[in-house]
Structure 1
């Protein structure tokens, strides 16, 4: 291992920060200046060790900026190489069949030629010699042509994905922290950040301050120092080694983008000033158009909570309980609950489906035993009476099931301004189409027309309050959780047609660790960290308040032409393999309602960008119904051989560059893997 001059031993936090950073490099050129650790001095790939097990070592030259602390504390020259060991990078090398190679040295020399390497530094401290050694862990690589390979330096460009670009700009203006995933405080302030379709030039390192509460948080202190342009048409083609939240680009292109931003870019305050003026006019017009009388709900409490404050309340509760949800999951779930008669939370076991539903109930200030009913579904559920009970026609007595659902719904009908929730946990353990059939029929109607009849009107019943049925109003939310595996039953298309199916993604364990370490125990902690205020965090959400967040009577006209074009093409392709499965008018109307009901912040900026909202709906409303055996849907979904071979749906989703549908495409890839491995997909 190579020796360096050691100035100061790093503490554990500093070392961990360095080892979480990303650096671009390439195989060093052969030179006698390389460390002399192997049998072939001056060779960039060589064998180390003369006895026992031999290992192959290789030297990687850094091409992007390294963590500042390596220079400031340890005196590492930027020209000094990192040393890789084959036995420390087997996970990466086995992708290329490394252990099957007869000549490992020549294989690596050829393999690394014209290849960029993304790696994480790994530091080991030699206490006896009082020195540090610079090793590395390869994350991924990218084969490039010789012209691109000639670039001497690459620039890290963080990609902000936590909010829409409007929300990003709003946070820049208000001084709220922004999180740059995989770009921590060991690095210089970035020159560029991307968000949505825009490229932001940071003109001065003093524009941002590193926020001490988290290694990846930054606060904008001078928004005037940030200029924005739309990404150049060729922008994506120059990005290399994309990792979550970060990309790299050749310095030559970076310099061109700097010039473009300086020549035609707008500062963030200029952008916000124009947007606020435009939004003000739109809001005034919408308020005049949508005056709604909620007299039947009115109470003496006028302390309505804004939807923006409710979203902050929901985010605070999730983080205070160390629950591992992305903010996009929270926004998506809330919008789905608002606009869908039934919302299903799906995914692998242990992803927090039930906890999210309970968290939402807590944010609404519901309590189990009062206005929250938790129903653990059993495999024995086969008919509606398992949920609701039955009428004994001889005695005229209605016998409720032990669940108490009928009484719960009746109580809700008598308290129209109090929100209620019914949570069906693991609902597809039973045959949903059978035990849930009464509800499936009701879900077809608007809230004001939903009437649950427990028995025929002409039959005598001693419980008079059940005789005319139970009205199910806007104050009752229906949510279900479901696992999709061999222990559960499929949902029918009829059920899926009336539901939003949200598949919760499992966060990486590194991301989960951040949630565990974050200190947000009180509302004050959250407000301090987010530089915001949660108004009335303990006030219950009334029905009038909740309904005021919903924009109703949305039609297909709310959709853009390019969105409708994609939906038409998807319908044609899907209905070709199953005429009963296409994209119905009901689904299109529900998609339009979702897009128009995405919550907005105080500046009237949507929490979810429209293209991402459309992407969610393709995945949740349409792709959830694409399932079956390989010979049926392989042409639609695609298949995995060595790599993903796209199907017809992927082709449609990739046609429009402005609607990338990245979540839907990833979902398709997952289905393609299931087809390849199992011969079918659920």
Structure 2
């Protein structure tokens, strides 16, 4: 592999910036270039005293690139002869290196250090070094703290905001093109944020000029003088180093909840209050209503069915509506069925019909590897040696961040062949979180007390909002893992019906491709998807006699295994499922309520009933050859008069027949 070197222009740009750091400790991984393994040491080969500094703020992009490419040591190397301009005169000419070592250690230890970074490259030996131009000793260091460099703009807030809205170049002195794009900017008494890294565009007219595209997304919040004094630990004329946790937690949260959009600031100046604003709100409501009407839920299902057939995929209409309703009403939906039936293709097609794609990060297809054993395998980890969060190659973290930032747009995660590895191991943080209210669903990537130098991009936690839908596909063979009761209790398992070959051929012959409903807005289905979800109270979906019957089912199952009963969670989720059934006045794309109850119980309750004949013979019964129905207690309950007043339970009883036959043949029901 050819080694990449940088031009002198780039190397000079790097040196124009500032970093804060701390003198390394013996516990840190130090470069092996000194005479001993100490943070301040003498090097005979260099005939100089060296000291090592650990960075605590953003570093130039080229330095990070070199670190990742050749796994270079994180420490910056300072030389007493070049990096310590304020060395006392009597020490500059002494030959007693121990005095110099002692002075440097006592001067730097426990202090916050400000310095300019230098990238030294030796093309002959193909080596790189991180050096220090000149170290400036600041105040005492708060242990365990990292810092975020925030560029300071030398303009009034109104001048700065005008430049932003006109997309004019902003000069970031002391923070040039070599540095990563900042996510916060300081101007006057305000911190500006809600800025994405890809919004910045480099202006080639100057080494420190950048332009923010789509600036209307930017928000500002005011910062008090008390906060400046407390949280700014080092500053230059055009740069302030804030406590990282304060910026990425307190300020980020304040921007989310109280931040004022730039466009709103502009309207405050140009619009008369309570007049134009109300008119605009009325127009906005009209536009949303019209928009939703053009993107009707039933038309979406029709399009899904026809698009599937145009790709030679034939699913029963009931399966499509069941799958759609399950996704709307459950945090996790699992597609099961015979291998090759088209589970992954259905999940992908569903997302595509919603207008989602992997390119715009609204859909993620994540193949599951048998090697996944813990959450870090799909999420990533905080590298303690480098202080950088390293996202996994799955792309899951970036996808979840995009979902968090765009909560009005549905995002779909597809876990392909999810049971190739034990789901409860690699997916464990999600299983409990997805049952919580949105305001409590925070996925923790690492401890908020940890030092993370790229925390501006990868915060310690991500909120899983209601716009996130998760679909898993699974096979059932000797290469896969069984689903636990804990997972089955939290997901709808939709088993796709296998159609006959002749039926598939006839269906495909009838396909009329011109029937795909078109409003010209199909790519925006994902933006109105949230409006299709019901807000009705889940308990109100049931009559009293239905709840009494479900209690009898729970009692029968719990008598064998209390952990497999008809749980309260199941009742609540069934209510959500029934409330979310799509309404179709023509009844062509609709599941009747009694059939929906049957479907739900089969895929949410009966799936958990599995085990040996010794435990389950009385509950399930056995079905011998020539026998029409089992004598198990559950089959009798679902065939009773009280049951038939609710549903015929055709699918549930068919599944009980299958389990009873397994008990008779294998002595075990799955």
Classify the TM-score, shorter chain: 0.5 to 0.7
Match of 2:396 in 1: 405
1:334-383 Cα distance to aligned partner (Å, 9 max, x none): 00000000000012212211111011111101123332111111111111
1:312 pairs, out of 291, 294, 302, with: 302
Alpha-carbon distance, 1:672 to partner: 1.8
Local SS of the residue matching 1:445 = coil
CA distance in 2, matches of 1:673, 1:296: 59
1:436-469 Cα distance to aligned partner (Å, 9 max, x none): 1011121111344322111112112122232241
1:518-562 Cα distance to aligned partner (Å, 9 max, x none): 333x2x2x36xxxxxx24265224555111111125232321233
CA distance in 2, matches of 1:583, 1:414: 37
Q: Relative to 1, partners in 2 of residues 1:354 and 1:606: Cα closer, same or farther, differing over 3 Å?
A: closer
CA distance in 2, matches of 1:566, 1:294: 48
CA distance in 2, matches of 1:294, 1:648: 59
Local SS of the residue matching 1:649 = helix
Q: TM-score, normalised by structure 2?
A: 0.54
1:445 pairs, out of 423, 430, 436, with: 436
1:490-522 Cα distance to aligned partner (Å, 9 max, x none): 1111111111111112112221222332333x2
1:417 to 2:408 alignment: yes
Match of 1:485 in 2: 477
CA distance in 1, matches of 2:287, 2:638: 47
CA distance in 2, matches of 1:297, 1:479: 32
Local SS of the residue matching 1:345 = strand
Match of 1:367 in 2: 357
Match of 1:475 in 2: 467
1:667 to 2:667 alignment: no
Q: Relative to 1, partners in 2 of residues 1:571 and 1:412: Cα closer, same or farther, differing over 3 Å?
A: same
- Structure whose alpha-carbon radius of gyration is higher: 2
Match of 1:106 in 2: none
Alpha-carbon distance, 1:296 to partner: 12
Q: Does the Cα contact within 8 Å between 1:386 and 1:401 map onto a contact in 2?
A: yes
Over the aligned positions, Cα root-mean-square deviation in angstroms equals 2.5
Q: Does the Cα contact within 8 Å between 1:447 and 1:474 map onto a contact in 2?
A: yes
Q: Does the Cα contact within 8 Å between 1:392 and 1:399 map onto a contact in 2?
A: yes
CA distance in 1, matches of 2:595, 2:329: 17
Q: Does the Cα contact within 8 Å between 1:336 and 1:594 map onto a contact in 2?
A: yes
1:631 to 2:614 alignment: yes
Q: Does the Cα contact within 8 Å between 1:595 and 1:614 map onto a contact in 2?
A: yes
1:499 pairs, out of 481, 491, 495, with: 491
Q: Does the Cα contact within 8 Å between 2:638 and 2:653 map onto a contact in 1?
A: yes
CA distance in 1, matches of 2:606, 2:370: 26
Q: Relative to 1, partners in 2 of residues 1:351 and 1:598: Cα closer, same or farther, differing over 3 Å?
A: same
CA distance in 2, matches of 1:364, 1:617: 24
2:537 pairs, out of 516, 532, 554, with: 554
Alpha-carbon distance, 1:604 to partner: 8.5
Alpha-carbon distance, 1:421 to partner: 0.9
CA distance in 2, matches of 1:506, 1:423: 22
Q: Does the Cα contact within 8 Å between 1:570 and 1:649 map onto a contact in 2?
A: yes
CA distance in 2, matches of 1:296, 1:489: 50
Q: Relative to 1, partners in 2 of residues 1:457 and 1:574: Cα closer, same or farther, differing over 3 Å?
A: same
CA distance in 2, matches of 1:408, 1:377: 16
1:295-324 Cα distance to aligned partner (Å, 9 max, x none): 999998952211111111112212222212
Q: Relative to 1, partners in 2 of residues 1:297 and 1:431: Cα closer, same or farther, differing over 3 Å?
A: farther
Match of 1:303 in 2: 291
1:179-210 Cα distance to aligned partner (Å, 9 max, x none): xxxxxxxxxxxxxxxxxxxxxxxxxxxxxxxx
CA distance in 2, matches of 1:297, 1:486: 54
Q: Does the Cα contact within 8 Å between 1:365 and 1:538 map onto a contact in 2?
A: no
CA distance in 1, matches of 2:520, 2:594: 31
Local SS of the residue matching 1:349 = coil
Q: Does the Cα contact within 8 Å between 1:497 and 1:621 map onto a contact in 2?
A: yes
Match of 1:260 in 2: none
Q: Does the Cα contact within 8 Å between 1:452 and 1:470 map onto a contact in 2?
A: yes
* Residue correspondence of structure 1 range 578-617 to structure 2 within 5 A: 578-602=561-585, 607-617=590-600
Q: Does the Cα contact within 8 Å between 2:413 and 2:469 map onto a contact in 1?
A: yes
Q: Relative to 1, partners in 2 of residues 1:297 and 1:570: Cα closer, same or farther, differing over 3 Å?
A: farther
1:26-52 Cα distance to aligned partner (Å, 9 max, x none): xxxxxxxxxxxxxxxxxxxxxxxxxxx
Deviates more, 1:467-476 or 1:377-386: 467-476
Match of 1:350 in 2: 340
Q: Does the Cα contact within 8 Å between 1:382 and 1:434 map onto a contact in 2?
A: yes
* Residue correspondence of structure 1 range 282-293 to structure 2 within 5 A: none
1:129-150 Cα distance to aligned partner (Å, 9 max, x none): xxxxxxxxxxxxxxxxxxxxxx
CA distance in 1, matches of 2:285, 2:413: 20
Q: Relative to 1, partners in 2 of residues 1:297 and 1:336: Cα closer, same or farther, differing over 3 Å?
A: farther
Q: How many correspondences in the alignment?
A: 381
Match of 1:184 in 2: none
Q: Does the Cα contact within 8 Å between 2:353 and 2:522 map onto a contact in 1?
A: no
Local SS of the residue matching 1:646 = coil
Alpha-carbon distance, 1:606 to partner: 7.3
Local SS of the residue matching 1:540 = helix
Alpha-carbon distance, 1:476 to partner: 1.7
Local SS of the residue matching 1:491 = coil
Match of 1:680 in 2: 668
Match of 2:557 in 1: 574
Q: Relative to 1, partners in 2 of residues 1:466 and 1:542: Cα closer, same or farther, differing over 3 Å?
A: farther
CA distance in 1, matches of 2:299, 2:471: 22
* Residue correspondence of structure 1 range 89-108 to structure 2 within 5 A: none
Q: Relative to 1, partners in 2 of residues 1:390 and 1:593: Cα closer, same or farther, differing over 3 Å?
A: same
* Residue correspondence of structure 1 range 3-402 to structure 2 within 5 A: 303-304=291-292, 305-370=295-360, 371-402=362-393
Q: Relative to 1, partners in 2 of residues 1:308 and 1:627: Cα closer, same or farther, differing over 3 Å?
A: same
1:140-175 Cα distance to aligned partner (Å, 9 max, x none): xxxxxxxxxxxxxxxxxxxxxxxxxxxxxxxxxxxx
Local SS of the residue matching 2:604 = helix
CA distance in 1, matches of 2:562, 2:317: 37
CA distance in 2, matches of 1:647, 1:417: 48
Match of 1:654 in 2: 639
1:587-623 Cα distance to aligned partner (Å, 9 max, x none): 1010011111100125689711000000011101100
Q: TM-score, normalised by structure 1?
A: 0.53
1:12-67 Cα distance to aligned partner (Å, 9 max, x none): xxxxxxxxxxxxxxxxxxxxxxxxxxxxxxxxxxxxxxxxxxxxxxxxxxxxxxxx
